Structures are given as C-alpha cells and as structure tokens.
Amino acid sequence: QVQLVESGGGLVQAGGSLRLSCAASGRTFSSSDMGWFRQAPGKEREFVAAMRWIAASTYYGDSVKGRFAISRDNAKNTMSLQMNSPKPEGTAVYYCAASLTSGGRGLDSTSYYNYWGQGTQVTVSS
C-alpha cells in the first residue's frame, strides 16, 4: 500500500521558517516527479513547488518563489519543503504528492499526481 505522510506542520510567525517533510512508503519514487500543494479553507488546492526526477529540476509557484525550497532524498524516499519567510496568506493545509512518471507536462496541476498525503496544517501568524 502506497503512503505519503507529511510532518513538520505547525504554527510559525511570519518571517520565520518551517520545514515540512514527506515520507513515502509502499513503493520507491526515486524515478518520479514529486510536489507540494496547499489548500486554504474555501480555496482551491494551489501549487507550491515540485521537483523532477530527471535532472532534479525544481519549480515554484509565483507566491513562494525565492522563499521556499524543495528537496528530496531518493535514497530515503523522502521529500522536504523549507519554508523561509512564510506569509499569513500561506496558512493552509500542505500536501505532498507523487506522480508515477517523470518529465510530463502539467507539473503544477493536481491532475498530474497519482498519490497524495493526508496533509499537514501550517498556520502563519502575523
């Protein structure tokens, strides 16, 4: 059974930092694209960041570019999201996601991913 489990969420002050982790089990995702999304109450799920297996290319949503950093450890089947200088509008449930493939188009779309974690709450106080 494939599982993605996020951890590291909590309360953080605006301008601080927080690191989220995603642990995968049930299959290896070392050859897959993986990403982070977030969803605030009453809003659609929003793309945050993604990393391709091929060339380890990284991509970021405009709202987090320059402040967040995605990384992965294929040997450990884990992925992280370093959140620096988060903003109050970033308060949301953060989800990690994994695709069965790599290199396709639509990396910033929820439909690109096959597996999702249960989410971890991040609250950014002003």
Mean pLDDT over the full length of the chain: 94
The token pair that represents 93 in the structure block: 């449930």
Question: pLDDT category, 89, cuts 50, 70, 90?
Answer: very high
Residue with the larger pLDDT of the pair 63 and 56: 63
pLDDT attached to residue 103? 84
Residue 117 has pLDDT above 80, yes or no: yes
pLDDT value, residue 56: 79
Structure confidence at residue 7 (pLDDT)? 98
**Token output for 74:** 């294929």
Please report which confidence band the pLDDT of residue 93 belongs to, taking 50, 70 and 90 as the band edges. Answer: very high
pLDDT of residue 62 exceeding 90: yes
Q: Enumerate residues 6+ apart whose C-beta is below 8 A from 65.
A: none
At 55, give phi and psi (nearest 5°): 65, 5
pLDDT, residue 31, reads 84
The pLDDT of residue 65 is above 80: yes
